[in-house]
Amino acid sequence: MKFLSWNVNGIRACLGKGFIESVLAENPDFICIQETKMQLGQATVELDGYEQFWCSAEKKGYSGTAIFAKYKPLSVTYNGMNIEEHSHEGRMITLEYENFYLINVYVPNSQDGLKRIDYRMRWEDDLRKYLIELDKKKPIILCGDMNVAHNEIDLKNPKTNRGNAGFSDEERGKIGELLSSGFTDTFRYLYPDATGIYSWWSYRARARQNNAGWRIDYFIVSDRIKQNITSANILTEVLGSDHCPVTLELDI
């Protein structure tokens, strides 16, 4: 099966920048998007052959996730951690299938000055607990904008960004905790030493042209299926957002 994940930074804008053509060129079985920035009915996404699942934030034009799936799930859960403070921003969709759970997330940004770091830490702890519980039942495939570069190899300028949102010790520690809980970063599993491959670039200072980027978009799977990974790619040439899509192919 092939999975694609992309923070589109506003699906309505991305639709005008080749979104449909870009995702269909990959022919994935599942398309997971983050930062839709829309409510149902504000845009039509025409992807024949895919069932659509949308989870919007209560605040209009903010956050939001969606999954487009070729296969009908056994169950669908929105904002699945079942915790009230995490239920307002449309940040998670879980699809259950016979052999796995697919979880699409848009992890909260800690914001400038780490103003939201306390909430981010609670989200991280609750997400990890949620994934561990699901993993007891069947393997998980987690994807999305995790809003963190795990190690120095995952961003162009680690020294000048140390302590900033997305590269704070607290955030890096939490993704380390997650991976130590029985989960595998699929890209690093296949490419442990690859450098200069990023999934997000600031709109400032010609960052994308200079490849001054960050790898903050992930596919993470249960350790027990890591040997089933056949491909994990970052589609750096695909435009349309400040992020590019990431893909995973898995025998499952």
Q: Provide φ and ψ at 89, rounded to 5°.
A: -115, 10
Name the residue among 4, 64, 76 with its Cα closest to residue 36: 64
Structure tokens at 169: 């010790």
- Bridge partner residues of 52 (DSSP): 68
**Interhelix angle for 117-135 vs 169-179, to 10°?**
0
Residue type at position 215: R
- Catalytic annotation present for 106: yes
Residue type at position 123: W
Q: Which of 101, 130, 135, 145 is catalytic?
A: 145
Structure tokens at 210: 């200079």
Q: Provide φ and ψ at 6, rounded to 5°.
A: -155, 125
- Catalytic annotation present for 119: no
Q: Which of 106, 130, 198, 218 is catalytic?
A: 106
Q: Between the CA atoms of 37, 91, 83 and 149, what dihedral angle is there, to the nearest 10 degrees?
A: -130
CA distance 157 to 155: 6
Residues recorded for the chain: 252
**What is the set of active-site residues?**
106, 145
